[in-house]
Amino acid sequence: MSGDSAPPPAYTVSERRDGGGDAAAVLPDATRTKRTRRVFHGRIIHSKSLKEIEILPQASLGVDDTGTIAFLDATVTSAGEACAKHKGFTHAEQITLKPLQFLFPGLIDTHMHAPQYPNMALGMEGDLKEWCENWTDPIEASYTDTAKAHRVYREMVRKELDNGSTTVAYNSSIHREATNVLADTCLEFGQRAIIGKLCILVGSTHGNWEASATQSIADEAKVVAHIRRIDPTGKLVMPCIQPRAGSYVPPELMRGLGGIASEGEGHNEGRMRVQAHMCETPLEVSDMHDLHPGFASYADMYDHYGLLGPRTILAHCIHLSRRDMDVLAKTGAGVAHNANSNTCLTDGWCRVRELLDRGIKVGLGTDCSAGYSISILNAMRQASNVSRHLTIATDEAGWKLSFEELVYLATMGGAEACSVDKTVGNFEVGKAFDALVVDVGLDDNINTNGWERDDMALLKKWVFMGDDRSIRKVFVDGRLVAGKDL
Ligand SMILES: [Zn+2]
């Protein structure tokens, strides 16, 4: 389909402004907010493995003044007792959770397109190609307007944090300045983020491509340098390189991006992070082979250019060959499973069970705006449904993801796919405190009457029925950055 439909209307930021109550659920300038020693006491829930959710009905969790989890203690009966017991916490702030509240790790979105945020819920009548040409290319191309990036990204990062996404792997647009704005915004609002400039040379419409491979590579390097400058430790904002997909990036550019990847991330050892799309539709796979002839598989192409490794996030991975899966398993690349997007664009069903069985890392992504919800709770529900559709289609029960697996994918699995699992994902002592205070006793969609003594039921009701109203406090790296109870 030609991309000649009318462009979407100009984006208008809502009337919501900072200034109190639920309407101002995110704290700007979060990086300047002082951390304090805190002790939480009450119901604490996190994922230990794909098979195990640990629920501690009465426990204390201590966070030190560097934002690090100092202890998780299930033997104490109050925050005061924990403060007296643990050295250095005598004067810590004490937070006792209400009977229907619990502490849960921050949610991790492994794939989200920041510039597409205004298009959410629009354009899903077509397939991937039609959607790209009629909706995605025009709006992404419009970010030559850096002022628009300021308006959209501030609204979006606030919403992401409201919804409990403490770490997000963002795709940006082809624009260096707009991408820098995205990185600045995440740092200002205190969100952990992986960000790079999108690289496109061919296969796009509406002028949504770059002038040359040389310029694309130079601009990507400048974005990496900007992110290293604003967050030298890489604790919150981490740079990455971002070839959109094999069908958009010809060999010369792919080779150049591989060169940047091999230079490393700068602030610690290891290769540069990479985000890219892979095997979203059969047409996208064949377009890749047309542009990159001679490779045994899609994954072999990325691997050839040095773009696959433990710090690579590959979105979709639906139409994988056995060879693709072998290469993913060998290189340690992670998969972003975008169940909502894959259903909306009728791309297909990602075979998550097969990926997990092969030891391939999997996290959940919202992939807005091909997906219509920025909530990882929604991504969990959609991942559950897609796995059940596979069972319906094959009559094999093994495809179904268990509740324990869904919780893992939304937290620890996402951390592994983003290669931040040593830092976040659960409440292991020594990790950074990225966490949500969740309340399932409110006047919202969650009906808890009768379930108050069943901790797992409370968690299930939140995952399947909750929304941002139940997310009362959001902490990233020990700082309170968002939530309805700011
Ligand atoms: Zn995507």
Residues of the chain with CATH 3.20.20.140: 107-417
| DSSP 8-state symbol, 400 | P
* Amino acid 443: pLDDT: 87
- Rounded to the nearest angstrom, the distance between the alpha carbon of 22 and the centre of ligand 1 is 30
Would you state the structure tokens that stand for residue 482, as one six-digit string?
């968002």
Nearest to 148 by CA among 189, 182, 111, 174: 182
Rounded to the nearest angstrom, the distance between the alpha carbon of 281 and the centre of ligand 1 is: 12
Helix (H, G, I), strand (E, B) or coil at 165: strand
Return the closest-CA partner of residue 28 out of 479, 447, 353: 479
The alpha carbon of 359 and the centre of ligand 1 are apart by a number of angstroms equal to 23
- Residue closest to 458 by CA, chosen among 50, 102, 163, 72: 102
Does pLDDT of 321 surpass 60?
A: yes
Residue type, 160: E
Give 393-429 pLDDT, tens digit per residue.
Answer: 999 999 999 999 999 999 999 999 999 999 999 999 9
d(CA 312, CA 328) in angstroms, rounded, equals 10
What's 107-417's CATH class?
alpha beta
Q: Are 21 and 387 in contact (CB under 8 A)?
A: no
> What separation in Å is there between the alpha carbon of 255 and the centre of ligand 1?
22
Mean predicted confidence (pLDDT) in 26-42? 81
Where do we find the tokens 């991006």? 257
**Res. 14: pLDDT tops 70:** no
Residues of each domain in the chain carrying CATH 2.30.40.10 = 31-105+428-482
CA distance 256 to 277: 18
Single-letter amino acid code for the residue at 147: A
Give yes or no for residue 219 having a pLDDT over 90.
yes
Determine the pLDDT at residue 70: 98
Q: Give residue 313 CA to ligand 1 midpoint distance, Å.
A: 11
From residue 118, give the alpha-carbon distance in Å to each of 65, 178, 375.
37, 15, 15
Average pLDDT in the chain: 92
Calculate mean pLDDT across residues 313-335. 98
Distance 276 CA to ligand 1 centre (A): 8
Going by pLDDT thresholds of 50, 70 and 90, the confidence category of residue 83 is: very high
- For the stretch 377-394, pLDDT in tens is 999 999 999 999 999 999
Ion ligand 1 nearby residues (CB, 5 A): 315, 367
Angle, CA of 32, 153 and 250, to the nearest 5°: 120
Evaluate if residue 17 carries a pLDDT over 60.
no
Report the predicted TM-score, pTM, of the whole model to 2 decimal places: 0.94
Of the pLDDT bands very low, low, confident and very high (cuts 50, 70, 90), residue 18 is very low
Q: Is the dihedral of CA 241, 246, 247, 251 positive or negative?
A: positive
Distance (Å, whole) CA 447 – CA 454: 13
**Residue 27 — very low, low, confident or very high, per pLDDT cuts 50/70/90?**
low
CB atoms near residue 442 (< 10 Å)? 15
| Greatest CA separation for the chain | 69
| CA 474 to centroid of ligand 1, rounded, Å | 26
Question: What pLDDT is attached to residue 32?
Answer: 62
CATH of domain 31-105+428-482: 2.30.40.10
Instruction: Please state the rounded mean pLDDT for residues 43-53.
Output: 98
| Cα 399 to averaged position of ligand 1 atoms, centre (Å) | 24
| Element (DSSP H or E) covering residue 220 | helix 213-230
Ligand 1 center to residue 119 CA distance, Å?
A: 13
CA distance 470 to 90: 30
Integer CA distances (angstroms), 6 to 10, 139, 190, in order: 12, 11, 37
Contact 221, 193 (CB under 8 A): no
Tens of pLDDT along 120-149? Answer: 999 988 899 999 999 999 999 999 999 999
